[in-house]
């Protein structure tokens, strides 16, 4: 019988060997989940769009490469390395990539159940 919850193993992963999802044309995701949060690499190709949507999961994110054009509710901003956002639960948000595309990291709490499903 487990007596110490700390014995749960850590996750270590690299984008080159992680399971990927392609939820939209030009959008690739590589999610890794714990119990309470999910950290998700997202690559958006130039011209690709993540349409406005909403979900009850709180979301935050930052940029690793390139520019993401992010809309949350009634505000749209261009985000680069060093920028960060937090999108409240159920806020309406969407994104597109700058001219060279982008690699960003999104975080969700709780984890997005729909991204836990193996797709390839």
Is residue 94 within 8 Å of residue 44, measured between CB atoms? no
Least spacing, CB of residue 35 vs a second copy, in Å:
6
Residue 28 or residue 62: which is nearer to a second copy going by CB?
A: 62
Is residue 89 within 8 Å of residue 58, measured between CB atoms? yes
What are the angstrom distances between the C-alpha of 12 and each of 3, 39, 58, 100?
24, 12, 23, 29
Least spacing, CB of residue 105 vs a second copy, in Å:
6
First to last CA, the chain: 35
Residue 26 or residue 62: which is nearer to a second copy going by CB?
A: 62
Binding site for a second copy (CB under 8 A): 5-6, 8-16, 18, 32-37, 39, 41, 54, 58, 60-62, 64, 72-73, 75, 77, 81-93, 105, 107-110
């Amino acid at each position: 019988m487990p007596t110490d919850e700390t014995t749960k193993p850590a996750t270590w992963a690299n984008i080159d060997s992680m399971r990927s999802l392609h939820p939209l044309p030009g959008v690739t995701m590589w999610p890794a989940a714990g119990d309470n949060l999910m950290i998700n690499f997202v690559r958006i190709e130039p011209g690709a769009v993540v349409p406005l949507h909403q979900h009850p999961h709180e979301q935050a994110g930052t940029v690793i490469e390139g520019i993401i054009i992010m809309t949350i509710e009634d505000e749209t901003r261009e985000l680069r390395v060093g920028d960060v956002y937090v999108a409240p639960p159920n806020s309406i948000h969407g994104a597109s990539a700058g001219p060279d595309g982008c690699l960003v990291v999104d975080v969700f709490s709780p984890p997005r159940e729909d991204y836990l499903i193996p797709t390839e």
